[in-house]
């Protein structure tokens, strides 16, 4: 899911006054400021790259300098800081709105991957992950991979800054957590925002809803479940009436909804400007018959989350806590599902620790079972992963790499910024990345670091022969 325009990454590049370093000049803007919808943001200067960042919900977005106190966002909308008669910064103006500085006393985000090792990355020493009471067995990277040095090199390169804003890297191989590394001040106790990587887990919660009989089948028609709250649906025709729950699970909705298409009426940015994101999605016009081809649409997952609430007569957070998170022993997480403008800065996304992401992925990898308890039916998991090459299953995506003629298949939960949860069934492996490279493709025309790190380091580490494990 995307951030608001003001928060899309921007870059600094200006000459510094002789009496101050570039970093010191940028530090004049630091502080906590008012922001939209009665929220706040922090402005922080980074010593690492002499860049000024806006930080919202722990996500940082660089600001591009134009002249004096003027900056601009990706849409070239000015962001102008204001000063008082004493030349102190007191706020900023953007897009016709004025936001005041609340305080200059803030806790600054960590801007280095690992400050103590940044200039000496070769001093990094691999350690087996700590064994905790969370139910995950730990093991040695060196015992599970033929060439573990490839993965160790990846960690060192991350420490050096080659892969900026990667917040965590975890590898679970042969039923053991063998790598657990954190950067930029994150640690094993920090719930990380998932962005769109939340969606596949909504699919799992829907599976539980059906397993428990609240919904008869995903083959049922979708719209009747919303008749009581949305008695009038716009653009209603025979094609829309035929949409099934499964059509939304596989993004084969037939609606004019495509996230990355600015011409689509249902693209994410337009949806977020509406008051009710589910109603907005259901009101979209049809462009083709449902069930034919997939088109990635955020509104589908949000609608399915709302469907769970309609069917169970419970908030989805409560239902998920009772039927998914508690059975997995997951308690250190945050989730407020509110698909409307109240979620403009949080997007109704989950915040979960990377170790718990391993547990959730393991649940799917192991046919819906955790510690001999069936949490999601095996039949639902099987249907989840019955997907065409490069397409979508039940809100999961098929992702594969080809290296030296060998194909590596995975099931992927992906979120803006570099949130990547990959299940590698043929390798008996799960990889988890969290990060802060938000909107990197739109800004820089390149994908997030995990798309380079996975094929060039992890998959090249090679499987160790079974008799040597």
Asked whether residue 286 falls in the same domain as residue 242, the answer is: yes
Instruction: Note whether 181 and 202 are same-domain residues.
Output: no
pLDDT at 11: 33
Last residue of a domain, one of 280, 312, 344: 312
Let me know whether 185 and 259 are in one domain: no
362 and 444 in a single domain? The answer is yes
Q: How confident is the model at residue 17, as a pLDDT?
A: 42
- Domain stop point among 252, 286, 312: 312
Q: Which residues of 300-321 are buried (b: 16+ CB within 10 A; e: fewer)?
A: bbbbbbbbbbbbbebebbebbb
In a domain, 92, yes or no: yes
3-state SS of the chain is CCCCHHHCCCCCCCCCCCCCCHHHHHHCCCEEEECHHHCEEEEEEECCCCEEEEEECCEEEECEEEECCEEECCCCCEEEEEECCCCCEEEEEECCEEEEEEECCCCCCCCCCCCCCCCCHHHCCCCCCCCCCCCCCECCHHHHECCHHHHHHHHHHHHHCCCCCEEEEEEEECCEEEEEEECCCCCCCCCEECHHHHHHHHHHHHHHHHHCCCCCCCCCECHHHHCCCCCCCCCCCHHHHCCEHHHHHCCCCCECCCCCCCCCCCCHHHHHCCCEHHHHHHCCCECCCCCCCCCCCHHHHHHHHHHHHHHHCCCHHHHHHHHHHHHHCCCCEEECCCCEHHHCCCCCCEEECHHHHHHHHHHHHCCCEECCEECCCHHHHHHHCCCCCCCECCCCEEEEEEECCEEEEEEEEEECECEEEEEEHHHCEEEEEEECECCHHHHHCCCCCHHHHHHHHHHHHCECCHHHC
Pair 180, 224 in one domain: no
Domain of 273 in residue numbering reads as 198-312
Count of C-beta atoms within a 10 Å radius of residue 443? 16
Kindly state whether residue 211 falls inside one of the protein's structural domains.
Answer: yes
User: Do residues 459 and 401 touch, judged by C-beta distance below 8 A?
Assistant: yes
Q: Tens-of-pLDDT digits for all 469 residues of the chain?
A: 544 444 433 333 344 444 678 899 999 999 999 998 889 999 999 999 888 999 988 888 888 889 999 998 766 788 999 999 999 999 999 999 999 999 999 999 999 999 999 999 999 999 999 999 999 999 999 999 999 999 999 999 999 999 999 999 999 999 999 999 999 999 999 999 999 999 999 999 999 999 999 999 999 999 999 999 999 999 999 999 999 999 999 999 999 999 989 999 999 999 999 999 999 999 999 999 999 999 999 999 999 999 999 999 999 999 999 999 999 999 999 999 999 999 988 999 999 999 999 999 999 999 999 999 999 999 999 999 999 999 999 999 999 999 999 999 999 999 999 999 999 999 999 999 999 998 875 555 568 999 999 999 999 999 876 544 4
- Kindly report the CATH number assigned to the domain that includes residue 142: 3.40.710.10
For residues 186 and 203, state if they share a domain. Answer: no
Q: Tell me: do 378 and 428 sit in the same domain.
A: yes
Distance CA 19, CA 22 (A): 10
Taking the C-alpha atoms of residue 147 and residue 257, their distance in angstroms, rounded to an integer, is: 44
Q: How many CB atoms lie within 10 A of CB 445?
A: 7
> How many Cα neighbours within 13 Å face the side chain of 238?
0
Cα–Cα distance measured from residue 48 to residue 111, given in angstroms and rounded to the nearest whole number: 6
Phi, psi dihedrals of residue 294, rounded to the nearest 5°: -90, 150
Beta-strand pair 64-67/59-62 = unpaired
* Residue 433, in any domain of the structure: yes
How crowded is residue 18: how many other Cβ atoms within 10 Å of its Cβ? 6
Residues 140 and 161 both lie in one domain: yes
Task: Give residue 113's pLDDT.
Answer: 98
Provide the CATH number for the domain around residue 13: 2.40.128.50
Q: Tell me the C-alpha distance between 349 and 359, whole Å.
A: 18
- Looking at the fold, whether 149 and 131 belong to one and the same domain comes out as yes
**Residue 317 falls inside a structural domain:** no
- Domain boundary residue among 312, 344, 378? 312
Please check whether residue 421 lies inside any domain of the structure: yes
Do 206 and 271 sit in the same domain of this protein?
A: yes
Same domain, yes or no, for 88 and 167?
no
Same domain, 185 and 205: no
Instruction: Please indicate, yes or no, if residue 82 is contained in any of the structural domains.
Output: yes
Check residue 418 and give its pLDDT: 96
Confidence at residue 273, expressed as pLDDT on a 0 to 100 scale:
94
- Asked, for residue 326, whether it belongs to a domain, the answer is no
Is position 320 within any domain? no
Residue 142 tokens read as 């060196």
Check if the beta carbon of residue 254 is closer than 8 Å to that of residue 290. yes
Number of domains in the chain: 3
């Amino acid at each position: 899911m995307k951030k608001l325009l003001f928060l899309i990454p921007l870059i600094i590049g200006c000459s510094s006054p002789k009496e101050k370093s570039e970093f010191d000049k940028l530090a004049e803007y630091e502080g906590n400021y008012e922001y939209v919808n009665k929220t706040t943001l922090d402005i922080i200067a980074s010593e690492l790259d002499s860049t000024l960042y806006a930080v919202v919900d722990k996500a940082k977005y660089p600001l591009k300098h134009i002249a004096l106190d003027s900056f601009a966002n990706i849409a070239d909308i000015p962001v102008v800081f204001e000063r008082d008669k004493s030349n102190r910064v007191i706020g900023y103006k953007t897009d016709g709105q004025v936001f005041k500085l609340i305080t200059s006393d803030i806790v600054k985000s960590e801007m280095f991957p690992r400050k103590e090792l940044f200039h000496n990355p070769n001093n990094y020493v691999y350690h087996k992950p700590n064994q905790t009471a969370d139910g995950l067995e730990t093991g040695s990277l060196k015992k599970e991979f033929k060439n573990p040095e490839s993965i160790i090199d990846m960690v060192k390169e991350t420490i050096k800054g080659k892969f900026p804003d990667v917040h965590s890297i975890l590898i679970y191989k042969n039923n053991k957590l063998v790598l657990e590394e954190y950067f930029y001040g994150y640690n094993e106790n920090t719930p990380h925002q998932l962005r769109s990587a939340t969606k596949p887990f909504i699919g799992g919660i829907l599976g539980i809803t059906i397993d428990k009989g609240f919904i008869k089948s995903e083959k049922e028609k979708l719209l009747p479940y919303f008749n009581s709250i949305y008695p009038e649906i716009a653009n209603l025709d025979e094609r829309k009436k035929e949409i099934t729950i499964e059509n939304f699970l596989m993004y084969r909705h037939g609606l004019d909804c495509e996230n990355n298409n600015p011409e689509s009426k249902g693209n994410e940015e337009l949806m977020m400007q509406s008051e009710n994101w589910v109603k907005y999605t259901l009101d979209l016009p049809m462009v083709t018959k449902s069930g034919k081809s997939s088109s990635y649409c955020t509104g589908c997952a949000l609608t399915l989350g709302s469907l769970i609430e309609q069917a169970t007569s419970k908030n989805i957070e409560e239902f998920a806590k009772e039927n998914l998170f508690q059975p997995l022993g997951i308690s250190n997480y945050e989730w407020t599902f509110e698909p409307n403008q109240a979620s403009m800065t949080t997007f109704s996304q989950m915040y979960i620790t990377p170790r718990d992401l391993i547990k959730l992925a393991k649940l799917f990898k192991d046919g819906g079972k955790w510690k001999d308890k069936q949490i999601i039916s095996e039949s639902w998991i099987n249907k989840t992963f019955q997907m065409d090459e490069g397409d979508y299953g039940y809100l999961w995506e098929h992702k594969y790499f080809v290296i030296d003629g060998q194909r590596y298949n995975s099931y992927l939960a992906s979120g803006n910024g570099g949130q990547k949860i990959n299940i590698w069934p043929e390798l008996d492996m799960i990889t988890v990345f969290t990060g802060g490279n938000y909107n990197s493709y739109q800004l820089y025309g390149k994908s997030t670091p995990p798309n380079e790190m996975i094929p060039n380091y992890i998959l090249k580490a090679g499987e160790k022969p079974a008799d040597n494990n």
